[in-house]
Amino acid sequence: MQIQTFQDLPLTGEILRSIKELGFESLFPIQAQAIMPLLEGKDVIGQAQTGTGKTAAFGIPMVQRLNREIRGVQGLILVPTRELAVQVAENMASFAKYARVKVLAVYGGESINKQIHALSSGVQIVVGTPGRLIDLMERRVLNLGTVKMVVLDEADRMLDMGFIQDIEFILSKTPCERQTSLFSATIEQSVMRICNKYMKNPQKILVSKDEIALTQMKQYYTIVNQHGKFDTLCDIIGSEGVNKAIVFCRTRRETSRLSDQLYRKGFRTQALHAGFTQAQRDRAISDFRCDRLSLLIATDVAARGLDIEGITHIINYDVPMDPPVYFHRIGRTARKGEEGTAITLVSYGEMSDFNNIKALTKTKIEEIKSSSASGNDDSPIKSFF
């Protein structure tokens, strides 16, 4: 029987009730391919962008396979950022709503005593960032000896952020007979080294490189003079349909400068980069999430792990030098099957980097003309959208 809906899966009535309340019906591709192997206890490598339903792909089998009579930690999910920890834990709690399974998110920047108290009361699934997990382990309040399932979520980002030694330390403290699954937007050599070292005959659910971009996303680019980028950007974000957008820049300095320029033009905007304190970062993300801001001007590092609904556009003010970064960026929109638009401003000096991106995908990236390239004062961009 071909599996097309959650009803086709051998799930408990409690989990199906939760899924029905969440409004889930048909399966996303990653769910259709990953849930059954995970329910069967197999190790899985899944290539999937954030926003394509991968949390349900690994979360629902984890909830189903837990022994509810055991109070110790049986499911462990490692994530790169506190924002993603909160998001994944909320989703896991939704799946486990009627299954009497306790879920806890642990991350830095939050009171560790509060997390210690929650652990002592009995938690079966822990979602956490590597640093805080190790802190709790070293305090002897988090024991991974009862762990049956481990998920490495957004593995490529965790490795990019330098967590490799932390991940290996955490995995070394879990039982050898555990089930391990790994989900990543890109499956590069560093990710495969982790898979080869810690997984047993994993089932690979991989999309080819030419399928890496989400099919429901519209992708455009425009060639501009470097000095004309700001005017072109204002044309785009001032046009109809750009309701909520992240604008990506390459450096902290440019992020702040561009945010200031846009603010002076009357746009509701805020910069976000790695120089922010955690409190500043939380405030900026909260304002953007709650629509007090319409534009977030961000660096790649600052935007890692962001999962915010309702983003209509991603605008690449600078072309990323590393092609996979492009797909990380545009994955911030077109969430959960919704449509989204990605627009890249390409200066003449960035053409080589942009051609490398185009070579990585067969998904069409359509060119639109800009006034800064043509010298025409009547920008066709405004009438394009």
Other CB atoms within 10 A of residue 116 CB? 15
Residue 87 · residue 135 · CB < 8 Å:
no
Q: Which domains occur in the chain, in start order? A: 6-207 (3.40.50.300), 212-384 (3.40.50.300)
Give the pLDDT of residue 185.
Answer: 80
| 360-380: average pLDDT | 64
Q: Could you give the C-alpha distances from 357 to 208, 213, 297, 327, 361, in angstroms and in order?
A: 14, 11, 22, 9, 7
Give the pLDDT of residue 211.
Answer: 43
Residues ≥6 apart with Cβ < 8 Å to 253: none
Render pLDDT for 150-176 as a digit per residue (tens, 0 to 9).
Answer: 999 999 889 988 999 999 999 999 999
Confidence tier at 17 by pLDDT (50, 70, 90): very high
Render pLDDT for 57-112 as a digit per residue (tens, 0 to 9).
Answer: 999 999 999 998 888 999 999 999 988 899 899 999 999 999 989 999 999 988 89
Task: Give the CA-trace dihedral at 213, 218, 219, 225, to 10 degrees.
Answer: -160
Which residue, among 58, 88, 35, 86, has the nearest Cα to 182 in the 3D structure? Answer: 58
Helix (H, G, I), strand (E, B) or coil at 58: helix
Q: Which residue has the tokens 């299954």?
A: 99
Bridge partners (DSSP) of residue 367 are: 221
Residue 278 · residue 348 · CB < 8 Å:
no
Confidence tier at 145 by pLDDT (50, 70, 90): very high
Calculate helix-pair angle for 82-95, 54-65, nearest 10 degrees.
50
Confidence tier at 214 by pLDDT (50, 70, 90): low
Give the pLDDT of residue 25.
Answer: 75
Render pLDDT for 216-252 as a digit per residue (tens, 0 to 9).
Answer: 678 999 999 989 999 999 988 887 668 889 999 989 8
For residue 372, the one-letter residue type is S
Q: Rounded to 5 degrees, what angle do the CA atoms 182, 184, 187 make?
A: 100
Which of 144-158, 274-288, 318-332, 347-361 has the largest mean confidence?
144-158
Give the pLDDT of residue 241.
Answer: 67
**Is pTM, for the whole model, over 0.85?**
no
Q: Worst-scoring range by mean pLDDT, 91-100, 177-186, 354-363?
A: 354-363
Q: Tell me how far apart the alpha carbons of residues 309 and 16 are, in angstroms, rounded to a whole number.
A: 24
Residues ≥6 apart with Cβ < 8 Å to 374: none
- What phi, psi does 33 have (nearest 5°)? -95, -30
In percent, how much of the chain has pLDDT > 90?
Answer: 54
Starting at the edge strand found earlier in the chain, the sheet holding 365-367 runs 269-272, 295-298, 245-248, 313-316, 340-347, 217-224, 365-367
Helix (H, G, I), strand (E, B) or coil at 263: helix
Q: Could you give the C-alpha distances from 139 to 109, 115, 135, in angstroms and in order?
A: 17, 12, 6
Q: Tell me how far apart the alpha carbons of residues 274 and 288 are, in angstroms, rounded to a whole number.
A: 17
